[in-house]
Amino acid sequence: MGNTIEATGLELSYGSTRALAGVDLAAPEGTVLGVLGPNGAGKTTAVRVLATLLRADAGSARVCGHDVATEPHRVRELIGLTGQYASVDEDLTGRQNLG
């Protein structure tokens, strides 16, 4: 089995703020990856790059086997992205929430 998510050397700056300074990560197929870090560490920025919502300045990433920079439409067909808050409906089961 390969990696569902694979990123190498991701860099991204907002003006003079360096949000990502060479991020490498991999999530093997069938696993859950948690990304921890203090406020402002760049977690949301990294997720936005992986979800094709932001373009990295450098580095590369593949999600479900597709390059997020050159095949964003293919990646978007295959992923789901939910917000940090209000993402779980307590009236539904865990499995229904995932659906």
| Site membership for ligand ATP, residue 44 (CB under 6 A) | yes
CB of 54 to ligand ATP, least distance (A): 9
The piece of 1-9, 23-31, 43-51, 73-81 that touches ligand ATP (CB under 6 A) is 43-51
Q: Which is nearer to ligand ATP, 15 or 99 (CB)?
A: 15
Strands 17-28, 58-63: parallel, antiparallel or unpaired by DSSP?
unpaired
**Alpha-carbon torsion angle 37, 72, 24, 36, nearest 10:** 10
| Member of 1, 32, 36, 37 binding ligand ATP (CB under 6 A) | 37
- Give residues 31-50 in contact with Mg ion (rule: CB under 5 A): 43-44
Which residue type occupies 92? L
C-alpha closest to that of 50 among 19, 72, 28, 21? 72
CB of 50 to ligand ATP, least distance (A): 12
Q: Report yes or no: 72 and 61 within 8 Å, Cβ to Cβ.
A: no
Q: How far apart are CA 29 and CA 31, in angstroms?
A: 6
43 binds ligand ATP (CB under 6 A): yes
Residues that bind ligand ATP (CB under 6 A): 14, 17, 19, 37, 39-45
